[in-house]
Amino acid sequence: MRLFFLLWMLLIINVNFTGCDKKSINTQPHEIHWDRDMCARCAMVVSDRKNTIQIINPENGKRYVFDDIGCLVLWFDDEQIPWKDKAVIWITDAKTGKWIDAKKAFYDTENITPMAYGFCAHESKDAIEKGQEIVDFNEMVKRVKKIGR
């Protein structure tokens, strides 16, 4: 009986320590299936490698893909996403196609983009042509909302 009790206690202790581990969520950009993945807002196929966005819900790891930064901004409002301020947002650099943090990116304002919002992301200000207007993420969000739907 004593052995049974000891084994039972070890099992309970083991479950308490291993069963409550919080799973870590991968917040790194994932592979895009070009010409197959669809924009979460407008349902257009994602094919422009210089204007693609992907976001990750930090609470559950669910991922969403967008074809234009404007679609992302309006999707947050349309769907009333409660975790939008905590979202991990990756965008492709307009020159290199490299994934960069959309919240830290610099945006120029006069581009041809898939849904015509006109904002392209750059990792540094130096990558933007002289004379182009440069805005940060928050200003870009405000302007997209003004453009509207």
Which residues are 122's β-sheet partners? 106
Predicted confidence (pLDDT) at residue 111 exceeds the cutoff of 70: yes
pLDDT digits (tens, 9 = 90+) for 83-108: 999 999 999 999 999 999 999 999 99
Task: Identify the pLDDT of residue 147.
Answer: 86
DSSP output for 83-99: TTTT-EEEEE-TTT--E
92 versus 12: the higher-pLDDT residue is: 92
Predicted confidence (pLDDT) at residue 24 exceeds the cutoff of 90: no
What whole-number percentage of the chain has pLDDT above 70? 84
Task: Identify the pLDDT of residue 125.
Answer: 94
Task: Identify the pLDDT of residue 148.
Answer: 78
Instruction: Locate the domains of the chain by residue range.
Output: 27-147
User: How far apart, in Å, are the Cα atoms of 36 and each of 43, 91, 113?
Assistant: 11, 18, 18
For the segment 35-40, the average pLDDT, to the nearest whole number, is: 96
In one-letter notation, the amino acid at residue 132 is Q
Grade residue 10 by pLDDT with cuts at 50, 70 and 90: low
Quick count: other Cβ atoms within 10 Å of Cβ 142?
A: 11
What whole-number percentage of the chain has pLDDT above 90? 79
